[in-house]
Structure 1
Amino acid sequence: MTISRFEVFTTVVDLGSFTKAAKKLNMTQPAVSHAVSSLESEWGVSLLIRDKKKGLRLTEIGQKTVIHMREIVSRIEKINQEIAFASNIEKGTVRLGIFYSASACLLPKILAQFQRKYPNIEFVLFEGTYEEIIDWLESGVVDVGFIIETNEATAYETLPLVKDDIVVAFSERHFLNKYESVTIKDIANEPFIMPKGMYAPYIFEIFKDAHAEPNICFEVQDCTTIANLVKEGLGITIGSKLFLKTHSQLKYKDLAVKNVRDISLAFNSSKTSPAVQAFLKEARRVYDKEQ
């Protein structure tokens, strides 16, 4: 049993592919397959189910052991980083969970400053939904993640970055263009495109506070698809100003009753490596200037 096999196995699981893992690790695909097979042979168990239709899936024992393998790989990475930072040769990896609007509007500012100081630190980005990022934090797939702060208790420490206004978005020819701001009653009868996931309850709450219900015509998971439907005049939506302003063909107005969401970085301080600590410090410095 070697730690390098753990690194190979966790990379295969995270990327869902032997080919992608080989490319990531700068290995041949047969070498990656051999490392995983050797681990299974040594332990006498099957860790992965190889299904041509459904792809790679963890077996029950694979699900239990990969947690410990990630922890061991993470510990070794932190040891190497501590040694590198002590020698003023900063290197390491930051695994970052991120959702679309954050990757488009928030992350570039941090990375531009960070990589000037720490050019040898590598980033692995996992882009997904808010729910997926929380799952990745819990399972150890990512070290730190962009999240939307809620009133619910969280097991993670957070670093607040920005307050994002919630706005009403519509097409260029929509009558709402003439309004200074928009009330929920103004749009109660308009065809509404509802985002799926954790954002939906938030929107329903906004309508409930106004004693109204959205006239839902589509329910959509993907943010870009929502933006394109709105652009084509198929409905209006309520969403993040941070995201919607990246689509120049959309128009948006503030809600008459102001609503904001807090975007933060979530992490477990007891498990942060020197590279992650440096990233959090730079993120704080960049967005302190924005306040």
Structure 2
Amino acid sequence: MSFVRFEIVAKVAELGSFTATADKLNMTQSAVSHAVASLETEWGVSLLIRDRKKGITLSDAGQKILPHIREVLKRIEIINQEIALVTNLETGIIRVGTFASASSCLLPKLLAKFQKKHPNIEFKFFEGTYEEITEWLRSGIIDIGFVVKGQSSLNFDLVPLIKDKMVVAYHPDHRFQFKETVDMNDLMDESFIMPTGMYQSHVEALFKEANIEPSILFEVHDCTTIANMVQEGLGVTIGPELFLKTHQTIKVSKLTIENNREVALACHSIANASPAVKEFLTTAKHVFYQN
């Protein structure tokens, strides 16, 4: 059985297009269509639903089979990497799921360290929410992902990286501007922008511990939108220092009550991971455990 057809089916499912797959794999569109059709004929099932309006989607059978196809491709990648190690020819690709603040604050330092030692390893990055990264891990789209402990990450092997403190963010001219630490009680009379997404539970835990109710003026899901609203003086917010400190047009201060989110790298199984992934995780330990 040709595993090239597996790669083609997986890529069509990822991109939702025969044309895009053909361009990505440097093949003709007819060759891509033929590869998929021949696999469907061999197995006697339809893997894809072809619809002019909706495009290409997975059939019920395709949804069940695709995770196994991805697992086979991953195993082939591991075999190739093991062979490369034996022959002293380093090769491989690592698929990484990441969220915005990890991409800007954690990845650069980690990649710089890793690629000095392993310049021939390739990377493919998928940026999304906590929930998307967890789903990508489960479905095999990515090899490893940046996650926050406690956010559906218990079924994966984890390599802890940092503890990211919750801080209060405000306009540079706000009355908090000269306070290194802000008392939670001082937030009671402030127009508060409540995050409804990735770190809402941490914010709610802080107010619960302080036994106060915030004066919520806005509830916003997107992190960047929240930062932009703070920049415009529409209110104050609480969020992870890792993300908020990247916005130089707003100011942040510590809080009298401490709450952290623990950022980690997750994968299905470190023991069964490819040599490249194992080395990446080892590098991550060295980079962040020393800090």
Does TM, normalized by the shorter one, top 0.5?
Answer: yes
- Indicate whether 1:273 and 2:290 are aligned: no
| 1:28-177 equivalences in 2 (<5 Å) | 28-51=28-51, 54-150=54-150, 154-177=154-177
Residues 21-61 of structure 1: CA distance to partner in whole angstroms, max 9, x if unpaired?
Answer: 33433334443333223322333332223445544322111
User: Do 2:206 and 2:257's aligned partners in 1 also have CA atoms closer than 8 Å?
Assistant: no
User: Do 2:202 and 2:260's aligned partners in 1 also have CA atoms closer than 8 Å?
Assistant: no
Where 1:178 maps in the other structure, the secondary structure is: coil
Q: 1:109 to 1:22 in 2, by over 3 A?
A: farther
Letter in structure 1 aligned against 2:96: L
| 1:250-289 equivalences in 2 (<5 Å) | 250-267=250-267, 268-289=269-290
Q: Which runs of 5+ in 2 are unaligned?
A: none
Aligned-pair distance for 1:150? 2.4
| 1:208-227 equivalences in 2 (<5 Å) | 208-227=208-227
Separation in 1 of the partners of 2:136 and 2:176?
A: 39
- Once the two structures are overlaid, the 10-residue window that deviates more, 194-203 or 141-150, is 194-203
Residues 201-253 of structure 1: CA distance to partner in whole angstroms, max 9, x if unpaired?
Answer: 22111111111223333333322222111111122211111111111101111
User: Do 1:169 and 1:244's aligned partners in 2 also have CA atoms closer than 8 Å?
Assistant: yes
| 1:178-257 equivalences in 2 (<5 Å) | 178-257=178-257
Q: 1:204 to 1:284 in 2, by over 3 A?
A: same
Letter in structure 2 aligned against 1:33: S
The normalised TM-score by structure 1 is 0.92
- Once the two structures are overlaid, the 10-residue window that deviates more, 249-258 or 220-229, is 220-229
Q: CA RMSD in A?
A: 2.0
Letter in structure 2 aligned against 1:163: K
Residues 83-128 of structure 1: CA distance to partner in whole angstroms, max 9, x if unpaired?
Answer: 0111111111111111110010101111112112222211111111
Letter in structure 1 aligned against 2:182: V
Where 1:65 maps in the other structure, the secondary structure is: helix
Residues 49-81 of structure 1: CA distance to partner in whole angstroms, max 9, x if unpaired?
Answer: 344554432211111000110111111111011
Where 1:177 maps in the other structure, the secondary structure is: coil
- Once the two structures are overlaid, the 10-residue window that deviates more, 170-179 or 3-12, is 170-179
Separation in 1 of the partners of 2:71 and 2:64?
A: 12
The normalised TM-score by structure 2 is 0.92
- Once the two structures are overlaid, the 10-residue window that deviates more, 173-182 or 116-125, is 173-182
User: Do 1:204 and 1:214's aligned partners in 2 also have CA atoms closer than 8 Å?
Assistant: no
Identity %: 54
Where 1:160 maps in the other structure, the secondary structure is: strand
- Once the two structures are overlaid, the 10-residue window that deviates more, 205-214 or 38-47, is 38-47
